[in-house]
Amino acid sequence: MAAGERITSDVCVIGGGPSGSTIAHRLASFGHDVCLVERHAFPRPHIGASLPPTILPLLEFIGVRDRVESAGFLRPERIVVWWSEAVPTVRSMLGPPGFHVDRGAFGQFAVAER
């Protein structure tokens, strides 16, 4: 988009992080004309993220679970938890594992869906 260019849309979402891109994708899937405004260029180098298994129903809800699951991200079957205890504990996942993702690559899923 060029500086000074005008865009008309039903909805303008500010910020293309997980929240903004998900709601923009959802509104677009309902047929709204959506403009998503992000101040940084994507994809960009971004620290990795650990996504717990509780993200799976959310990915399913927005229609990208199959694609994320087949993207080749690491699927940890155990996690190390270290909050207030003196030593870390290793816990096994119950059910399907979550993901360790390259956040830049992961951020492409909602965008690529459009």
Where do contacts with ligand FAD occur on this chain (CB under 6 A)?
14-20, 37-40, 47, 49-51
Residues 16 and 41: their CA atoms lie apart, in Å, by 10
* Nearest residue to ligand FAD, by Cβ distance, number only: 17
Q: How far is the CB of 44 from ligand FAD (least distance, A)?
A: 9
Which sign does the torsion angle of CA 107, 108, 111, 114 carry? negative
CB 78 within 8 A of CB 88: no
For residues 44 and 67, which CB has a smaller minimum distance to ligand FAD in the complex?
44
Minimum distance of ligand FAD from residue 13's CB (angstroms):
9
User: Closer to ligand FAD at the Cβ: 15 or 76?
Assistant: 15
Provide, rounded to whole angstroms, the least separation between the CB of residue 69 and ligand FAD.
Answer: 17
User: What is the Cα–Cα distance from 114 to 103, expressed in whole angstroms?
Assistant: 19
For ligand FAD, the closer of residues 45 and 86 by Cβ is: 45
Residues 97 and 53 sit within 8 Å (Cβ to Cβ): yes
